[in-house]
Amino acid sequence: MGLLGKKTGIIFTFAGEIGIIMKESGVLNMNEFRTIELKKGIYERNNVIAQETREDLTKKNTSLLNLMSSPGAGKTTFIVETIKALRDEMSIAVMEADVDSDVDAATIAQTGTKVIQLHTGGMCHLDAEMTRQGLESLDAQNVDMIVLENIGNLLCTAGYDTGAHINVMILSVPEGDDKPLKYPPMFRAADVLIISKVDALTIFDFNMDACISRAKSLNPNIEIFPVSAKTGEGMNLWLTWLRRNVGHK
């Protein structure tokens, strides 16, 4: 059956892919659609800004770390524990991004760290332009590392280069070991996979070996650190890696 009415379209993005599903009156049937790849223009612009940001920060000897995960995987807790462990040896600032609320910035501020809260007004990720605006507002001078806590989302955040030198993702044990199979773009985009909440391994049927091998098959170079921010287990290996890579990526 043909469609009546005007031309209608749905633009969609999918972690590195963007397209438009369009139905036209009298041309396509209900179960038909055209998909047009628009990836180039939008992502090229984002990548130019991201590259400029990276170069600007590199000149200032500041590393930007983009931390991504699904909601509640433990990003803020992990940042707090990382700050506590490193604050005597490097200067750190934080940008907290959320759709709304200031709770994460308030948590970070309790550590005495310079922090700003960014509100995305409903957007499910930060792009390079939003990150640049955040960095301008943060105005952190002479810091070794800026941590960006991205929006809690395991899909959208992976599609945008923010200008970060280091991309870290957290997968928590309660989310399950099958997530590399279900959300491959995030595992491909990350330099580091933190498998968090390992203190809960006895409660959940999380297969660590399967998870690691699934992540490695998507991204053979990914560094993987199973940790518990609550008990401190595994944090030292992560901190050693971070010390080596801040300022060198």
Ligand X SMILES: Nc1nc2c(ncn2[C@@H]2O[C@H](COP(=O)(O)OP(=O)(O)OP(=O)(O)O)[C@@H](O)[C@H]2O)c(=O)[nH]1
Positions in the binding site for ligand X (CB under 6 A): 69, 71-77, 104, 152, 196-197, 199-200, 228-230
Beta carbons of 118 and 136 less than 8 angstroms apart: no
Instruction: State which amino acid sits at residue 49.
Output: I
User: Which amino acid does the sequence have at 210?
Assistant: A
* Helices 128-138 and 39-59: angle between axes, nearest 10 degrees: 30
Q: Nearest residue by C-beta to ligand X?
A: 152
Report the nearest approach of ligand X to the CB of residue 237 (Å).
15
Query: By C-alpha distance, which of 183, 180, 185, 181 is closest to 195?
Result: 180
CB of 12 to ligand X, least distance (A): 23
Q: In what order do the strands lie in the sheet with 145-152?
A: 114-119, 92-98, 145-152, 63-69, 166-172, 192-196, 223-226
**Mask for 73-92, x = binds Mg ion (CB under 5 A):** --xx----------------
Tokens matching residue 54? 């990276």
Contact partner at residue 200 from ligand X, Mg ion, none, CB < 5 to 8 Å by partner kind: ligand X
Q: What's the rounded Cα separation, in Å, for the pair 240 and 235?
A: 9
The smaller minimum CB distance to ligand X, of residues 80 and 140, is found at 80
23 or 75, CB closer to Mg ion?
75
With respect to ligand X, which residue has the nearer C-beta, 152 or 185? 152
Task: Identify what 71 binds: ligand X, Mg ion, none; CB under 5 to 8 Å per kind.
Answer: ligand X
CB of 239 to ligand X, least distance (A): 15
214 binds Mg ion (CB under 5 A): no
Q: How are beta strands 17-23 and 34-37 bridged, if at all?
A: antiparallel
Per-residue mark of binding to Mg ion, 101-140 (x: CB under 5 A): ---x------------------------------------
